[in-house]
Amino acid sequence: MKSKLNVVILAAGAGKRMHSSLPKVLHVLAGKPLLAHVIALAERLSPESICVVVGHGGEQVKEAFSETNLIWVEQKPQLGTGHAVLQARPYLNQDGKTLILYGDVPLVSPESLQSLINAASDDALGILTATLDDPFGYGRIVRDEKTNAICGIVEQKDADTQQQAIQEINTGIMIAPNAFLHKWLPKLESNNAQQEYYLTDIVKMAVDQNVPVTSASATDQWEILGVNSRTQLAGLERIFQRNYAEKLLENGVMLIDPNRTDVRGELTCGQDVEIDVNCVFEGTVTLGNNVKVNANCILKNVTVLEKTIIHPFSHIENAKIGANCRIGPYARIRPETQLSDHVHIGNFVEVKKSRIASGSKINHLSYIGDSLIGQKVNIGAGTITCNYDGAFKHQTIIEDNVFVGSDTQLVAPVKVSQGTTIGAGSTITKDTPENELTLSRSKQISISGWKRPSKTT
């Protein structure tokens, strides 16, 4: 039978080496706080409870999470990892097990955690270990020479030269039966080099009481890496992105350079999608079959239907883009925009909170905001919807088959009826009649004999 599981996430550390006013676990990896990655990992195990131990910047950390299923525990002052888990003890079941995770170790895979859970039988202590070329700084796993059984963990600062040579290290991730934790945690002492209550001392207690100590190793070495500095955070970001890119490639997405693709959320792609270099995908982005995203585009919470091409340097946020559209280069599509199929949005065009029906084109230098645009509309270069009167936003309606000449201002609220042609350079303040040419323009005159001013020396 599967035993009950509590998870405790340690996140009270100061993170001094980040040199930041932001608590360490709120620093962002792939678009979300480090702690959010660890909480998501814990949630995949469907535990009975998730307890987060916070200290430095605790209030700020709590505020950053809206999940209601989390138990927040304050640890003040921070007297070590054993002291941290002790603060969570009142929330641990009497039976079942507790898994300890670190809020600043965000890349552990669910598979490695599962192998740790499987390795530790119901009454055993389990430790996730790793073997490193350079084990400096980590707690070392001390094994019995004859039986190879784990007999203790010794911290770097407490280790003698022989122990310092051990390459198997404690990742910090552990699973322990609750019945033992309730007994052991209050008995931890701080008589060590750092005068801290080490969680790792429970290993010796287990050995003394003949409780089996088992271990599992992480599938990949990078899984166990923690964040103590911005250099390490940047390193982990690259590992995360490289892993994500490899999964995309394996699923058939053509990334021109997997080292220059950033996904800060979730990217779902159809077949034969091609993504050029330096694109950033944030939030939830879905690209349909044969979509092509050219270099240097930013897409945030966007759905793009099949065969659409997004040309370089386009920025699209909270929008739905239809099939067979052509966007950019240098297009900006802002929230609440919906483009139907075969729509063209060209260079230096900004579209906000507008719906554009199929086959319509806005190819150059325009601002379209709060607008409803029908089918097969052509909007000339330099057209502006004047949607804001200084206090309120107003709507512009452009019906099917309208042709708007270049350099037109449409002063909202205004309706351009179907089939209208607007002469270039017009300022339209009144609704237009259907199928007629409407223009507002002063007459062109020429003054004969006029001379351009010139400087006299």
Q: Which residues bind ligand UD1 (CB under 6 A)?
A: 10-13, 53, 75, 78-81, 83-84, 102-104, 138-139, 153, 155, 169-172, 198-200, 226
Active-site residue among 182, 315, 364, 394?
A: 364
DSSP summary character for residue 6: E
Q: Looking at 168-236, which runs of residues are DSSP E strands?
A: 168-177, 213-217
Query: Is 49 or 401 the residue whose CB approaches ligand UD1 more closely?
Result: 49
Compute CA distances 251 → 246, 247, 248, 267, 323, whole Å: 9, 6, 5, 12, 22
Q: How far is the CB of 11 from ligand UD1 (least distance, A)?
A: 5
Using alpha carbons, list the distances in angstroms from residue 323 to 54, 276, 338, 366.
48, 19, 12, 22
Backbone angles phi, psi at 236, to 5 degrees: -65, -35
**CB atoms near residue 448 (< 10 Å):** 4
If the CB atoms of residues 75 and 409 are measured against ligand UD1, the closer one turns out to be: 75
- Which positions ≥6 away from 371 have C-beta within 8 Å? 353, 354, 355, 356, 385, 387, 395, 396, 397, 398, 412
Give min distance, CB of 62 to ligand UD1, in A.
14
Quote the least distance from Cβ 209 to ligand UD1, whole Å. 20
Q: Distance between terminal CA atoms of the chain?
A: 102
Q: How far is the CB of 53 from ligand UD1 (least distance, A)?
A: 5
- CB of 224 vs ligand UD1, minimal distance in Å: 8
Q: Give the angle subtended at the CA of 69 by the CAs of 65 and 73, to the nearest 5°.
A: 70
Q: How do 168-177 and 125-131 pair as beta strands?
A: antiparallel
Please identify, using beta-carbon distances, which residue of 229 and 427 lies nearer to ligand UD1. 229
Measured distance CA(343)–CA(309) in Å, rounded: 11
Asked if 117 and 46 touch (Cβ cutoff 8 Å), the reply is no
3-state secondary structure of 202: helix
CB of 273 to ligand UD1, least distance (A): 38
Half-sphere exposure of 300 (CA within 13 A, CB side): 12
For residue 352, the cross-strand partners are 369
CB 33 within 8 A of CB 74: no
Quote the CA–CA distance of 406 and 421 in Å, as a whole number. 11
Beta carbon nearer to ligand UD1, 78 or 383: 78
CB of 152 to ligand UD1, least distance (A): 11
Q: How far apart are CA 274 and CA 261, in angstroms?
A: 12
Give the residue with the Cβ less far from ligand UD1, 88 or 404. Answer: 88
CB of 134 to ligand UD1, least distance (A): 13
Token couple for 56: 């430095």
CB distance 163 to 145 below 8 Å: no
In the bound state with ligand UD1, the residue whose beta carbon lies nearer, of 153 and 321, is: 153
Which CB, 226 or 328, lies closer to ligand UD1?
A: 226
Neighbouring residues of 389: CB distance < 8 A, sequence distance ≥ 6 = none
Q: Choose between 231 and 435: whose C-beta lies nearer to ligand UD1.
A: 231
Give me the least distance between CB of 115 and ligand UD1, in Å please.
18
Does 182 qualify as catalytic in the annotation?
no
Distance CA 99, CA 103 (A): 13
The DSSP-derived string for 53-122 is EE-TTHHHHHHT---SSEEEEE-SS---HHHHHHHHGGGS-SSSEEEEEETT-----HHHHHHHHHHS-T
Is the CB of 81 or the CB of 340 nearer to ligand UD1?
81
Active site residues: 364
